[in-house]
């Protein structure tokens, strides 16, 4: 037993200092006197790990020992954010570490800045996965998060002459103290080749896959600590490595250089995160990534976490896999292959098991964002999986025909394999057929998913479809990101809210308390100074502290309508420049944008250029000083969000109704006491219902109105012609007012709005400006504004990802916490 016991270092200052110096000297190999900041950071991170390690090993042993059911979260993205502060918070070590470092003459503030955040995701979907695994650990629910260890995460954004230039994200360059490689648990993954039938020993005819090449998946484990509950779950990310056989066989004739090249080919698979978060391109490498991590993950759970001889008919008692969008859906035919070809179960029995093991979450409504893999590609790369999909489809369509005889149109609409525009596998259809439950991510989205995206499926299987509204972790996005507000809340109602966010309701009466409101305003102010200091240090940027802070941070997308926000700013600029409104009549505002564009999304990149151009014109106009300011810090990421969101007064959530599946930034802002200006879209609908319509600035077309206007034939120029201010704003851009007089620079953006405007920015322009006028009027009464802001905080407990997780657990997963 003594050999088994793992002891954490003593959780006091002496214990910490001893462990830290040991890590610095024996782990990092430097003396304190000669250590660089990076040495110090790495030693600190490893020291903090030690405190969590005993619990982690216990959780892993428990998983093997006890027949409990776990969640297998399958996601191609995890946008984790920095790990150090999260670990300190979970283990309640911040005080000890601050004091201990001080004894060594070091400051925690300096060391935490050393961490490169793991940006292994694009945006909402990846950050949601990170919030969910945090909540599951805090709820003591066993979960393994499975994903890809991209060597390069989301690109680092820089601006050159106002245009986005992407730099590689070298997050691993200075060491990766939070990960544990486990090469002994590597998994082989095969690709390509052909299938053949043969007669098995028992005389039955079977199929086998004769692959052409393969790689090895090496797992890297990350701790996922629950909040002060002793639970530590695992995030297991796979990295691709070449096999020896691979080097020496196919790609060379014993040539050393070719062998090394072959290695690069294999290792390409986990090299880089695809930075597109819509309009997937059907790239072969992306399919390789998807199959790679899913094959590793299923084999890992079925044959490593469970015993090799585990009775797989009982698999659904031990695991439920959640498919985070369609990216991991190739797991469905992979599980069938493992059960039928490898474990020799009869097809029907295998299908029964598979259907009980999967559920699917859809995160989009845009038709172009639905993944369809060309049959030719899928068949070449995964021939056996294609056969399996084909059989799943044939049986499914036979079922449809039996229920709706003669309705061949319906059969075509529902088929997993489409014929047009080319033969392709519709991954959302495959996911829906194979899953026990299919969910959308906000009420409106789930309704539109049933009615518009998968209407035939929801007709034949109404009980399959459900909603689970997204949430965000209150640990990272309130307790950690906003220590001042957290302190104020805890002083008022105790600290139970950190794990039971509904408790924020107890703040409601304090919205009526003038002294509490004053303290709340103090907190906002302090958070703004913190942001000002950060931007000064990070970008050498001087942001004014006084004005209202109006923030729009999210990926750059036409449907999210950063261009509508710009038209507002240009209109304010024009009102002053033309003398229609005196600068003194304008409610001073600072506008902050944060947005990355997919590198191949041309219109999005032009919009970034325009935002920067408007910013430099507005900011250099002396008449606007102290009135309007536009800031666009480059490289918006989780770390920046943690300082930016708590400082915001106004949150911009202005997507065209029916296009934003949920949004989760909207929740983070409201929880931190910003008011929202937003459309009736995604989770905005639920935020508004909960905080009250008086505490939310709603504007714009409703989803059915959007549908009607589309059906009538939307003509954006008619809005331009009939609204003088809109016309002036667009004309100003077109005339070159923000491009040194050059009318060509932004002609494509203007023309796109005037003649296409797929997302109806012009149709919502006037309603948006009216709503902004209501914002200005409301902000003028600071006391009433604070009251609304406090009510936003008090009423947003619902948006905790703990609640989302309970919802999945109760209605979809049926798993239990462990004690």
Catalytic residues: 363, 554-555, 560, 664, 668
Nearer to ligand 26Q, 232 or 287 (CB): 287
User: Burial code of 663-689, b = ≥16 C-beta within 10 A, e = fewer?
Assistant: bbbbbbbbbbbbbbbbbbbbbbbbbbe
**What strands, in cross-sheet order, belong to the sheet with 697-698?**
628-631, 589-594, 548-553, 650-653, 675-678, 697-698
**Single residue of 111, 661, 733, 809 touching ligand 26Q by CB under 6 A:** 661
HSE (side-chain half, CA atoms, 13 Å) at 379: 9
276 contacts ligand 26Q (rule: CB under 6 A): yes
660 contacts ligand 26Q (rule: CB under 6 A): yes
Q: Which stretch binds ligand 26Q (CB under 6 A): 48-56, 228-236, 340-348, 659-667?
A: 659-667
Tally of residues, the chain: 819
- In the numeric block, which tokens belong to residue 208? 């086998």
Total chain residues near ligand 26Q (CB under 6 A)? 23
Nearer to ligand 26Q, 122 or 499 (CB): 122
Q: Which stretch binds ligand 26Q (CB under 6 A): 119-127, 232-240, 427-435, 748-756?
A: 119-127
HSE (side-chain half, CA atoms, 13 Å) at 375: 13
Q: Which stretch binds ligand 26Q (CB under 6 A): 45-53, 123-131, 171-179, 380-388?
A: 123-131
What is the signed CA dihedral for 49, 53, 59, 60, rounded to 10 degrees?
100
HSE (side-chain half, CA atoms, 13 Å) at 696: 26
594 contacts ligand 26Q (rule: CB under 6 A): no
**Single residue of 28, 446, 482, 664 touching ligand 26Q by CB under 6 A:** 664
Binding mask 418-447 for ligand 26Q (x = CB under 6 A): -----------------------x------
Task: Write out 534-564 in H/E/C secondary structure.
Answer: HHHHHHCCCCCCCCEEEEEECCCCCCCCHHH
Q: Which stretch binds ligand 26Q (CB under 6 A): 167-175, 218-226, 298-306, 661-669?
A: 661-669
Cβ at position 330, least distance to ligand 26Q in Å: 12
**Single residue of 41, 227, 274, 573 touching ligand 26Q by CB under 6 A:** 274
- Give pairs for 276-281: CB < 8 Å, separation 24+: 276/122, 276/598, 276/600, 276/601, 277/122, 277/123, 277/125, 277/555, 277/598, 278/364, 278/366, 278/368, 278/369, 278/557, 278/598, 279/368, 279/369, 279/601, 280/369, 280/371, 281/600
Nearer to ligand 26Q, 739 or 800 (CB): 800
d(CA 162, CA 212): 47
Binding mask 280-309 for ligand 26Q (x = CB under 6 A): x-----x-----------------------
Q: 3-class DSSP state for residue 120?
A: strand
Q: Which stretch binds ligand 26Q (CB under 6 A): 56-64, 406-414, 599-607, 660-668?
A: 660-668
Among positions 345-364, residues that touch ligand 26Q (CB under 6 A) are 363
d(CA 470, CA 224): 20
Q: 3-class DSSP state for residue 570?
A: helix
277 contacts ligand 26Q (rule: CB under 6 A): yes
Contacts of 625 (CB under 8 A, 6+ apart): none
371 contacts ligand 26Q (rule: CB under 6 A): yes
Cβ at position 683, least distance to ligand 26Q in Å: 7
- DSSP character at residue 407: -
Cβ at position 632, least distance to ligand 26Q in Å: 21
662 contacts ligand 26Q (rule: CB under 6 A): yes
HSE (side-chain half, CA atoms, 13 Å) at 535: 23
125 contacts ligand 26Q (rule: CB under 6 A): yes
Contacts of 379 (CB under 8 A, 6+ apart): 386
Nearer to ligand 26Q, 128 or 789 (CB): 128
524 contacts ligand 26Q (rule: CB under 6 A): no
Nearer to ligand 26Q, 101 or 389 (CB): 389
Residues that bind ligand 26Q (CB under 6 A): 122-125, 128, 274, 276-278, 280, 286, 327, 363, 369, 371, 441, 470, 660-664, 682
């Amino acid at each position: 037993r003594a050999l088994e016991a793992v002891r954490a270092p003593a959780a006091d200052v002496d214990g910490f200092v001893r462990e830290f110096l040991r890590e610095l000297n024996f782990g990092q190999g430097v003396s304190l006197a000669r250590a660089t900041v990076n040495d110090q950071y790495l030693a600190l991170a490893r020291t903090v790990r030690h405190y969590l390690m005993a619990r982690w090993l216990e959780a892993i042993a428990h998983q093997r020992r006890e027949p409990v059911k776990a969640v297998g979260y399958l996601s191609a993205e995890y946008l984790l954010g920095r790990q150090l502060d999260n670990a300190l918070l979970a283990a309640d070590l911040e005080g000890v570490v601050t004091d201990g470092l001080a004894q060594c003459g070091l400051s925690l503030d300096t060391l935490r800045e050393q961490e490169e955040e793991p940006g292994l995701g694009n945006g909402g979907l990846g950050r949601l996965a990170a919030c969910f695994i945090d909540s599951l650990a805090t709820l003591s629910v066993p979960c393994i998060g499975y994903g890809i260890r991209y060597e390069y995460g989301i690109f680092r954004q820089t601006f050159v002459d106002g245009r986005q230039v992407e730099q590689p994200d070298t997050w691993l360059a200075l060491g990766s103290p939070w990960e544990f490689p486990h090469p002994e648990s590597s998994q082989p993954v095969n690709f390509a080749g052909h299938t053949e039938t043969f007669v098995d020993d028992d005389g039955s005819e079977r199929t086998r896959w004769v692959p052409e090449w393969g790689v090895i998946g090496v797992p890297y484990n990350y701790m996922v600590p629950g909040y002060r509950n002793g639970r530590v779950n695992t995030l297991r990310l796979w990295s691709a490595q070449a096999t020896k056989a691979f080097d020496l066989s196919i790609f060379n004739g014993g040539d050393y250089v070719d062998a090394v090249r072959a290695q690069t080919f294999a290792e390409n698979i986990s090299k880089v995160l695809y930075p597109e978060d819509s309009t997937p391109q059907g790239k072969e490498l992306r399919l390789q990534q998807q199959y790679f991590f899913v094959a590793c993950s299923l084999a890992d759970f079925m044959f490593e976490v469970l015993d090799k001889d585990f009775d797989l008919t009982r698999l659904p008692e031990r695991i439920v896999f959640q498919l985070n969008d369609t990216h991991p859906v190739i797991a469905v035919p992979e599980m069938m292959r493992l059960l039928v070809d490898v474990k020799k179960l009869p097809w029907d029995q295998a299908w029964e098991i598979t259907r009980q093991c999967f559920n699917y979450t859809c995160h989009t409504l845009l038709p172009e964002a639905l993944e369809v893999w060309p049959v030719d590609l899928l068949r070449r790369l995964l021939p056996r999986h294609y056969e399996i999909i084909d059989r799943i489809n044939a049986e499914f369509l036979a079922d449809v025909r039996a229920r709706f005889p003669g309705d061949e149109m319906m059969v075509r609409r529902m088929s997993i394999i489409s014929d047009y525009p080319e033969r392709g596998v519709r991954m959302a259809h495959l996911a829906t057929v194979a899953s026990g439950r299919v969910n959308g991510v906000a009420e409106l989205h789930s309704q539109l998913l049933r009615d518009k995206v998968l209407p035939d499926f929801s007709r034949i299987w109404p009980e399959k479809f459900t909603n689970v509204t997204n949430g965000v972790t209150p640990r990272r996005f309130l307790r950690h990101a906003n220590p001042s507000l957290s302190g104020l809340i805890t002083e008022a109602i105790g600290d139970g809210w950190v794990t039971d966010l509904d408790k924020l309701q107890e703040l409601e009466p304090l919205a009526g308390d003038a002294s509490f409101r004053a303290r709340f305003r103090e907190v906002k102010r302090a958070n703004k100074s913190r942001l000002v200091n950060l931007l000064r240090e990070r970008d050498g940027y001087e942001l004014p502290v006084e004005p209202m802070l109006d923030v729009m941070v999210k990926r750059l997308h036409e449907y999210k309508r950063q261009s509508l926000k710009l038209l507002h700013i240009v209109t304010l600029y024009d009102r002053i420049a033309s003398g229609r409104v005196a600068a003194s009549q304008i409610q001073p505002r600072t506008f902050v944008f944060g947005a990355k564009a997919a590198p191949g999304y041309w219109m999005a990149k032009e919009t970034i250029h325009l935002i920067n151009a408007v910013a430099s014109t507005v900011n250099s106009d002396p008449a606007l000083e102290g009135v309007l300011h536009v800031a666009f810090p480059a490289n918006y990421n989780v770390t920046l969000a943690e300082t930016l969101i708590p400082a915001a007064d106004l949150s911009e959530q202005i997507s065209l109704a029916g296009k934003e599946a949920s949004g989760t930034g909207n929740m983070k802002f409201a929880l931190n006491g910003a008011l929202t200006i937003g459309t009736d879209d995604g989770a905005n609908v639920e935020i508004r219902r909960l905080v009250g319509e008086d505490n939310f600035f709603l504007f714009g077309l409703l989803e059915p109105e959007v549908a009607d206007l589309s059906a009538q034939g939307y003509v954006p120029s008619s809005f331009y012609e009939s609204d003088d201010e809109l016309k002036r704003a667009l004309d100003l851009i077109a005339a070159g007012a923000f491009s040194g007089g050059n009318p060509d620079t932004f002609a494509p953006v203007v023309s796109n709005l005037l003649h296409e405007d797929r997302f109806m920015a012009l149709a919502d322009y006037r309603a948006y400006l009216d709503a902004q006028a209501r914002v200005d009027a409301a902000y003028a009464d600071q006391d009433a504004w604070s009251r609304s802001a406090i009510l936003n905080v008090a009423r947003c407990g619902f948006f905790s990802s703990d609640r989302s997780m309970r919802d999945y657990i109760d209605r979809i997963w049926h798993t239990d916490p462990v004690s």
